[in-house]
């Protein structure tokens, strides 16, 4: 079966690529979301859950920045310069995944006290929730488009797995 580069990346070097590129960032994002719900519902200002949320936010933002840089250099540039994309579905899958950096980096910077310093804690909570929601949306778009067989979009007889 032919597949997008996104799916190929996750299937190669099993189980490590799946863990590195999918499990770690998405599980962290889900933990952020869960702790966010606890913080909002219980109006938590400090404590263990708030600390856990902060640590995960910083870690996931930095971790995903590393993924972004690595994949930009090793995937985006070579595929673009060599015209190696497997249809527009492939482009959407990979770019949706990498666009997660737009949402996770501000979370890390906010938790480190670099961004949104003058915002109230309530405003920061709203921004945090919007950012993590944005990441989950683009991650799921990447997963959906990544699972599409590009050959149903365009016949690509020479496409490698």
Is 161 part of any domain?
no
Residue 108 included in any domain: yes
Locate tokens 């709203």: which residue?
A: 126
State the residue range of the domain holding 46: 5-152
pLDDT number for residue 156: 57
Residue 159 domain-assigned (yes or no): no
Write down the pTM of the prediction: 0.87
140: number of Cβ within 10 Å: 12
What does the pLDDT average to over 21-47?
A: 93
3-class SS shares of the chain: helix, strand, coil, % to 5: 75, 0, 25
pLDDT on residue 52: 96
CA 131 vs. chain centroid, Å, equals 11
Q: Count up the domains in the chain and report the number.
A: 1
In a domain, 160, yes or no: no
Per-residue pLDDT reduced to its tens digit, 74-125:
989 998 999 888 888 889 999 999 999 999 999 999 999 999 999 998 899 9
């Amino acid at each position: 079966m032919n597949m997008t580069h996104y799916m190929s990346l996750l299937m190669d070097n099993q189980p490590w690529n799946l863990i590195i590129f999918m499990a770690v960032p998405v599980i962290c994002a889900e933990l952020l979301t869960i702790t966010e719900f606890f913080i909002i519902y219980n109006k938590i200002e400090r404590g263990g859950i708030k600390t856990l949320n902060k640590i995960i936010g910083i870690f996931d933002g930095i971790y995903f920045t590393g993924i972004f840089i690595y994949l930009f250099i090793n995937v985006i540039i070579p595929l673009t310069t060599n015209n190696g994309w497997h249809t527009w579905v492939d482009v959407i899958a990979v770019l949706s995944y990498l666009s997660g950096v737009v949402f996770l980096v501000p979370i890390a910077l906010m938790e480190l006290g670099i961004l949104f310093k003058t915002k109230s804690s309530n405003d920061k909570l709203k921004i945090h929730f919007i950012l993590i929601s944005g990441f989950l949306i683009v991650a799921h778009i990447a997963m959906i488009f990544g699972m599409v067989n590009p050959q149903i979009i365009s016949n690509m007889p020479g496409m490698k797995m």
